[in-house]
Amino acid sequence: MYPPPSFSQSHRYNALQEHAAFQEGLHTCGICMEEQPGRAFARLDCRHAWCRGCLAEQARIHVAEGSLDALRWAPWVLLRACLQRWQRT
């Protein structure tokens, strides 16, 4: 008989199962209010999720307007840092 899975293995399994269920379900984007399948969303560890189209458009607008400093929400802060590095190269 195999030993029972460790906590980290079972935690990972649960996270993968929950992610798969999210990907298959329908969700409403908090920006455009459109219902779309989970695989059309970017989902953060905090469980916030927005459709990729809206997130890409917001990033495009801030890059075009040169207003990267307006990106204050945590995921945007990471995006801003990446975009600033990209602009320097």
Residue 37's beta-bridge partner residues? 26
* CATH 3.30.40 for domain 7-88: yes
Whether the per-residue pLDDT at 56 is higher than 80: the answer is yes
**Which pLDDT score is estimated for 70?**
64
Task: Give the best-scoring range by mean pLDDT among 5-19, 24-38, 46-60.
Answer: 24-38
State the Cα–Cα distance between residues 51 and 67, nearest whole angstrom.
Answer: 21
User: How far is C-alpha 72 from the chain's CA centre?
Assistant: 15
What are the boundaries of each domain within the chain? 7-88
Q: Between the CA atoms of 41, 45, 57 and 81, what dihedral angle is there, to the nearest 10 degrees?
A: -150
Mean predicted confidence (pLDDT) in 37-66: 83
Is the model more confident about 27 or about 49? 27
Of the chain, the end-to-end C-alpha distance in Å amounts to: 56
Whether the per-residue pLDDT at 2 is higher than 50: the answer is no
Return the residue matching tokens 């916030």.
Answer: 48
